[in-house]
Amino acid sequence: MIFPAKFVKELMVLFTEKDNSMIFTVRVVPRASKSEIVGEHNGALKVRIASPPVDGAANAELIKLLAKTFNVSKSEVEITVGQASKTKQVKISNATGEKLLQIANLK
């Protein structure tokens, strides 16, 4: 069924800003052909990671990708919840929600 544009809910990555840091949820798809941010999935930033979820390789690749994308050092990116899960909570210091929305192509 196709809905008119006015009935389609606008999708948005949910985030919290506190103490010059931003916290948001990431949905990781491991073993992708390449590492990239692909948009939004149920309020989370959807990220495809080339690394397999073995020995923290996917988490390390996620941190590297987010640090490069947000133009911060890898030490400013922290996975706070979900180290062994596809759904993770990430904290990035010195980043803004505005940048997150631009990255998710939602602005």
The residue ranges of every structural domain in the chain are: 26-103
Q: Where are the beta strands (DSSP E) in 49-103?
A: 77-81, 87-93
CA distance 94 to 62: 17
Q: 26-103 architecture in CATH?
A: 2-Layer Sandwich (3.30)
Q: What's the confidence (pLDDT) of residue 105?
A: 65
Q: Closest by alpha carbon to 41, among 75, 14, 1?
A: 14
pTM of the shown model: 0.85
What is the tens place of the pLDDT at every residue in 61-91?
A: 999 999 999 999 999 999 999 999 999 999 9
Q: Which residues are CB-contacts of 106 (< 8 A; sequence separation ≥ 6)?
A: 10, 11, 12, 13, 39, 40
Share of the chain above pLDDT 70, in %: 87
- In this prediction, what percent of the chain has a pLDDT beyond 90? 64
The one-character DSSP state at 19 is: T
